[in-house]
Structure 1
């Protein structure tokens, strides 16, 4: 399918992204490219905007204690919680014309808390939300397990259309994740409640979006949007230069260093935007791996990487080194935790202490004769990540560590390998968070994916730390500024002390836009620019 050239018809926009989604269910298997497309087709109740402020999308206004729509309560058993009331926008409809109602709210909660649903944030549904009271077809009160500080934010409560999904779920909840309408009929208009609906899905290639006739908000400018997935970053750039795509999405597009080089050559042809934000490039470690169980080895791996030099040489210093999972741009960042600068001597001492003392052919062995060898995986075709792997592989070899590169297509890596914790040692990818995020899904021990919980949760490292669990639990309801700050500080200290993952960089998103596209505003967090697609305009 050939893209219509921008000059011939500016009522069509062709967007290039770097991965094709592994599935289409909004709450199963978190994947950035899926979230980017959903930004055009669905609307969450709440989201953080480009100013990092919480705003309503599907609701009429945010609940608040001052207005009486948020009430701290004591339950019959003496436990404390908070009740928050939301009203669905009165004009909100699914793409097939059915009104969005509280029936959809109750059904979504029912599915999300089922132990076999496989929801990525099953904790929200199964623990955090105690009950939901319905006032009428548009208004409901959600009772939260604890008196949480961010009671108004229900960004992860992603609404499902009860009239379509109920028959599939009731037939067999255990197989729902693979049989939902999102999987069997992704172009069904009843699945969407945003400015656009998907009208064509070519797996591994592209999706076509057309305006949703039942959208209640501002009329979008484009008659058609084509989102084209090109999983090789060099090929994605070639598609851009050949006019096969009009723009490359910053959130899920080309690596920063590639865009910096492109701007030097094509600065007059495109408009370039750069946005630093809450995108954490890191290496998840499988802590069940006998080598990586040893904290000394984890610290040595980090000491052996010259991240500062990599940032300068690959990213012109625009992608700062990460020393923790919390970005200094975030208000809740708390400096003072341990850091691990490039220090080959320290790496060597740690590996000696861990028993990897015998060097043969430049690679360390232990007393049992075992070779210090680990695998590192990432998304195949991402030129920058593959280059980064090679640089780290060479630096680790200098420390006596044999790192083997084994890469997979994004849909396999995210759709199965990471989700089911099949990676043997290390996986290089990025987490994208909202401002002031509490990292329960990635760091709490209850969020380790297993076959028993339907591979739900995002703690792929298998990190288990009782103090971290307690800190995360308290952070949700300890709201006073100073106690909350102390908890945030301790969370970041534990992360740096225990290193469940190796921090690399805080990414900057690089947008390559046609000069005629206006009003696209990068956000720097997981509420992608696509959530405001209806405001994009042709100059």
Structure 2
């Protein structure tokens, strides 16, 4: 699953289920869980929810200490957040822990507020944005953060020799960036851009220290996979490839230091092994697979012991099937639609995810304003899928049971991350479904760190992946035709003039209501064209060791930097 960076006033729906003592009995188990999800969808929270705890511990100096050990399903290929091959897992580990932006989203108000910057100012025409940096900020090695570091980060991202095409497109609307003085930097835009403040803040990227990352050879920078110097509250102590990455608290941190002194990310690919690891105390937090979460919350003794959370928030990913239009198979919309209609997507939700998700029809956060709830999913219709393939010229001309066209048999590889059992299960359904309409699917499981390098080069026929949504959504980087080549994120090579026009207009539309209208039109277009088969989204799931206090589910999710462990409950010593 890949998550990229992606301020309009936005009604943010946070729906929280704290499964403490949930019991589900025999045949009613699935229906009961579905009702819980429906309750989540119909609930609006205007304030953060603090998870109840058994302790009245006070946040004070005596509660400093302990570690947070997070069991992750995937090990990132790189921790260099500018690299095109960085992913959601790398951002979880590095962003705000090591690298910080100029402005940061308030997790409750869902508005950008100063972080490394102390103030900002737009010109009346919206074409100039000036940041004034704080005077008291420094990197973990004690070097002050200046405008030079901001300019270095910007120029590195847009450098065509740097492997950062998917980030560079975020700055297309930036005309120039200039240093006014050591603590003042000004951005100049070609035209007003609705995400100007977020992008210029380097949200989900952070400011890179020039004195550490400065390079003479771009290829040398591209090969850097990690560095321990940043401005955040933690520094990378070590990365034991194949095992874990260890972050220790930055004792020189310019801001308020977190209570937890060490963050450890243990890489545990097997879903069952992660559950066992939290049961045994080897890890403190995991992200269970959706179907796994449904099973564990049936156990009252488990939910009474652990904090079991399910919540919706912007950024919740959607899962999709991507059809590479540069292959002989998927350039024709009718073929892509046939691939969608051959699949019982509701059946996948019910039987593989055990009801723990929601069908989606487009690329927007399902509870957000940009999403058009009136668009209905394409129906599951095997006969219609066959008819569409016939109409597109794919017929079995040689009687071998496999359709063909112009001498090419309809046999394609379906690539997916071998690290994720959910994708394996869905791949099996796709293979069986395709066989019923005369198409042969060859399963192609690939280690995630390898698969992510193939995507920008379009070295696949079809894939299953997930995109984590932005807080304020902009689909330019994954659907605009300019993002096909030069290692952009339009992996499926979708090229549509009307889509390009819409995406460009969305970017320069500042008025929220007009932009929402445009976004919904774009939703309708991609629903019709089916560059992706949009499968489902689901709540964010977390299982957390009970000793952690101040665990709050904000509108934008969890903030482990706020957590602490009472001294008497601490498991690890410094």
Q: Given the two structures, how large is their TM-score scaled by the length of structure 2?
A: 0.81
Shift of 1:173: 2.5
Q: Aligned-residue CA RMSD in angstroms?
A: 2.3
Give the structure 1 partner of residue 500 of structure 2: 469
**Structure with higher RCO (Cα < 8 A, 6+ apart):** 2
* Distance in structure 1 (CA, Å) of the matches to 2:288 and 2:523: 30
Deviations 1:188-246 (A, max 9, x none): 3xx22111111011112211111001212222112222110112223322322332212
Give the structure 1 partner of residue 181 of structure 2: 136
* Distance in structure 2 (CA, Å) of the matches to 1:187 and 1:482: 42
Deviations 1:314-349 (A, max 9, x none): 334331011111123112223444631211121111
**Greater Cα shift, 50-59 or 293-302:** 50-59
Match of 1:294 among 329, 332, 347: 332
How do residues 476-487 of structure 1 correspond to structure 2 at under 5 angstroms?
Answer: 476-487=507-518
* Distance in structure 1 (CA, Å) of the matches to 2:389 and 2:144: 61
Give the structure 1 partner of residue 76 of structure 2: 21
How do residues 140-179 of structure 1 correspond to structure 2 at under 5 angstroms?
Answer: 140-154=185-199, 155=203, 158-166=206-214, 169=215, 171-178=216-223
Match of 1:417 among 454, 460, 482: 454
**Cα gap change, 1:82/1:536 in structure 2, threshold over 3 Å: closer, same or farther?**
same
Give the structure 2 partner of residue 258 of structure 1: 292
Give the structure 1 partner of residue 232 of structure 2: 194
1:296–1:354 contact (8 Å) kept in structure 2: yes
Give the structure 2 partner of residue 346 of structure 1: 384
Give the structure 2 partner of residue 399 of structure 1: 437
* Distance in structure 1 (CA, Å) of the matches to 2:394 and 2:470: 40
How do residues 194-213 of structure 1 correspond to structure 2 at under 5 angstroms?
Answer: 194-213=232-251
1:311–1:320 contact (8 Å) kept in structure 2: yes
* Distance in structure 2 (CA, Å) of the matches to 1:332 and 1:98: 42
Match of 1:122 among 158, 165, 168: 168
* Distance in structure 1 (CA, Å) of the matches to 2:236 and 2:551: 21
Shift of 1:406: 0.7
Deviations 1:420-465 (A, max 9, x none): 2212x11111111212311111111111243xxxx3x211111122
**Cα gap change, 1:187/1:481 in structure 2, threshold over 3 Å: closer, same or farther?**
closer
**Cα gap change, 1:472/1:243 in structure 2, threshold over 3 Å: closer, same or farther?**
same
Q: Unmatched 5+ residue regions in structure 1?
A: 1-8, 64-68, 74-80
User: Are residue 71 (structure 1) and residue 123 (structure 2) matched?
Assistant: yes
Q: Unmatched 5+ residue regions in structure 2?
A: 1-63, 567-574
Shift of 1:90: 2.7
User: Are residue 93 (structure 1) and residue 93 (structure 2) matched?
Assistant: no
* Distance in structure 2 (CA, Å) of the matches to 1:507 and 1:49: 23
**Cα gap change, 1:331/1:406 in structure 2, threshold over 3 Å: closer, same or farther?**
same
SS of the residue aligned with 2:458?
A: coil
SS of the residue aligned with 2:538?
A: strand
Deviations 1:357-411 (A, max 9, x none): 3288884323545432221111113112211211222222222221111111111
SS of the residue aligned with 1:442?
A: helix
Match of 1:495 among 526, 536, 539: 526
Give the structure 1 partner of residue 536 of structure 2: 505
User: Are residue 448 (structure 1) and residue 484 (structure 2) matched?
Assistant: yes
User: Are residue 274 (structure 1) and residue 303 (structure 2) matched?
Assistant: no
Match of 1:326 among 352, 361, 364: 364
* Distance in structure 1 (CA, Å) of the matches to 2:342 and 2:370: 29
Give the structure 2 partner of residue 46 of structure 1: 103
